[in-house]
Amino acid sequence: MPILNALPGRFFAHSRSARLSRGLATIAPSSAFHIPVIDFSKFRTATTPAEKKATADEIVGAFKTAGFVYLAKHGISDAVVQRAFLESKQFFGLPQEVKDSMAWADPRSNRGYVTIGRERVTQSKDAAAIAAMRQKAPDYKESMEIGRDWDSVWPNQWPKTEVLPSFKPFMLDFFQTCHELHMVVMRSIALGLDLQEDFFDSKIDKQCHNLRLLSYPAIKRALLDKDANQARAGAHSDYGTLTLLFQDQVGGLQVQHPHTGEYIAATPIPGTIVINVGDLLSRWSNDLLRSTLHRVVAPPAKAISETEAMTPARQSIAFFSNPNFDAEIECLPNCGTSPKYPPVNTEKYIVGRLADTYS
């Protein structure tokens, strides 16, 4: 996309005072919350350790302050991303009974179709409270969860080949592509934390990840307005190391300012991937890297009558990257002498959070 040549190295401002001029983001005051746009090709093509370290420091610096970056020139082509959205749209366009036949059933598996209202993401760990929130104001979205396909105990669920012939092979390739990008970004984080570049490699190589296709159907504004807590996805942090988020141009993602509590729009930027720190990476770093609360709200509605308006449909794709399920997460050697958290097993932590979310 032509906008990318101008964006890397600049900060994209998200405060209310931010404005666009000639297609570029105007820099907000220093006190405003911002998510940097980082040219990742500088890390991939670096010819000296100093060049690599410079980009690594940019990424870690952003994760320390905002917990989010826009990654530009990341190596995944626009054509591949567009194809991923097309395959996802075709899946969600299947008859409801076909999608329901692949229903999500188990938090350890975390695979299959999740119908509208089945999930209620939140920071609460109280199962009864989450159930009450789900009953009153469920997240208005549907999703398809895909994991590593060679797991014989917890297999993926796929539509039949005659229904969507290219869906499975494409999504398996896309899963691998996202995993490989995640590995490289984690190497940049290792350097930015003054660790060996390959420090995380053996701890994230088993691909215990979750590729989530998301569809937010169009909805009448009145339905969203019935309850102040109703959202397309409630405020939450992610569970693992990093989340790679591919957005369409509808928008709706909001990130919480860590100091004021205000939610700021993470406006889609063509050609970039939004990447944020998850809870386990934050915990690994003794909270040096920030796992920031975020949510998805409905974009401005379009009037369909004198008394009613409709919010547009939205698509996104999230690749939730996790450490290996047998990894023990404890304070990294150079992230403080007083660990804030006891060691925790990856699988136990993530499955516990999923069980709370869906129970």
Q: Is the model's pLDDT at 333 over the cut of 80? A: yes
Task: Please tell me the predicted confidence (pLDDT) of residue 324.
Answer: 97
Mean pLDDT across the stretch 155-175? 97
pTM as predicted: 0.84
Q: Which residues of 157-182 are buried (b: 16+ CB within 10 A; e: fewer)?
A: bbbeeeebeebbebbbebbebbbebb
> Cα(100)–Cα(319) distance, rounded to whole angstroms?
22
* Domain boundary assignment for the chain: 2-358
> Cα(24)–Cα(4) distance, rounded to whole angstroms?
10
The model's confidence at residue 225, banded by pLDDT at 50, 70 and 90, is low
φ/ψ of residue 20, rounded to 5: -100, 140
> Cα(271)–Cα(264) distance, rounded to whole angstroms?
21
User: 320 in helix, strand or coil?
Assistant: strand
What stretch of H or E contains 43?
helix 41-44
The more confidently predicted of residues 207 and 228 is: 207
- Alpha-carbon dihedral sign for residues 240, 36, 337, 294: negative
> Cα(64)–Cα(245) distance, rounded to whole angstroms?
19
Task: Please tell me the predicted confidence (pLDDT) of residue 262.
Answer: 92
Residues 6+ apart with CB under 8 A from 222: 308
DSSP letters for 259-279: TT--EEE----TT-EEEEE-H
Burial of 135 (0-12, 13-18, 19+ CB in 10 A): exposed
pLDDT, tens digit (0-9, with 9 covering 90-100), for 104-147: 988 878 899 999 876 544 444 555 544 444 444 456 889 999 99
pLDDT, tens digit (0-9, with 9 covering 90-100), for 252-311: 899 999 889 999 999 999 999 999 999 999 999 999 999 999 998 877 778 878 888 888
**DSSP state at residue 308:** -
The more confidently predicted of residues 217 and 81 is: 81
Other C-beta atoms closer than 10 Å to the C-beta of 112 total 22
The model's confidence at residue 251, banded by pLDDT at 50, 70 and 90, is confident
- Alpha-carbon dihedral sign for residues 112, 267, 55, 327: negative
Mean pLDDT across the stretch 35-50? 97
Residue type, 270: P
Mean pLDDT across the stretch 323-342? 94
Mean pLDDT, the chain, as a whole number? 85
Task: Please tell me the predicted confidence (pLDDT) of residue 118.
Answer: 63
Residues 6+ apart with CB under 8 A from 70: 7, 12, 35, 36, 37, 38, 269, 272, 273, 274, 275
Mean pLDDT across the stretch 67-71? 97
Q: Is the model's pLDDT at 227 over the cut of 60? A: no
> Cα(250)–Cα(217) distance, rounded to whole angstroms?
12
Q: Is the model's pLDDT at 76 over the cut of 70? A: yes
Instruction: Write out 50-68 in H/E/C secondary structure.
Output: HHHHHHHHHHHHHHHHCCE
| Cβ-contact 308, 221 below 8 angstroms | yes
- Distance from chain centroid for Cα 93: 23
| Cβ-contact 210, 321 below 8 angstroms | no
Task: Please tell me the predicted confidence (pLDDT) of residue 288.
Answer: 97
The more confidently predicted of residues 347 and 303 is: 347
The model's confidence at residue 28, banded by pLDDT at 50, 70 and 90, is very low
The model's confidence at residue 23, banded by pLDDT at 50, 70 and 90, is very low
CATH topology for 2-358? Jelly Rolls (2.60.120)
Mean pLDDT across the stretch 29-51? 87
Q: Is the model's pLDDT at 5 over the cut of 50? A: no
Dump strand ranges (E) for the chain: 11-13, 20-21, 24-25, 34-39, 68-72, 112-114, 142-146, 210-216, 219-220, 233-236, 242-247, 253-256, 263-265, 273-277, 294-296, 302-303, 309-311, 314-320, 328-329, 344-345
> Cα(277)–Cα(224) distance, rounded to whole angstroms?
29
Q: 15-23 — which CB contacts under 8 Å span 24+ positions?
A: 15/264
Lowest mean pLDDT among 107-116, 191-200, 350-359: 350-359
Task: Measure CA of the first residue to CA of the last residue in the chain; give whole Å.
Answer: 42
Task: Please tell me the predicted confidence (pLDDT) of residue 298.
Answer: 77
| Cβ-contact 271, 72 below 8 angstroms | yes
State percent of the chain over pLDDT 90.
64
Lowest mean pLDDT among 2-6, 46-50, 280-284: 2-6
Other C-beta atoms closer than 10 Å to the C-beta of 96 total 11
Q: Is the model's pLDDT at 230 over the cut of 70? A: no
**Around 277, how many Cα atoms within 13 Å sit in the side-chain half-sphere?**
26
Mean pLDDT across the stretch 330-359? 89
Mean pLDDT across the stretch 44-51? 96
The model's confidence at residue 94, banded by pLDDT at 50, 70 and 90, is very high
The position carrying tokens 């930027």 is: 269
Task: Please tell me the predicted confidence (pLDDT) of residue 1.
Answer: 34
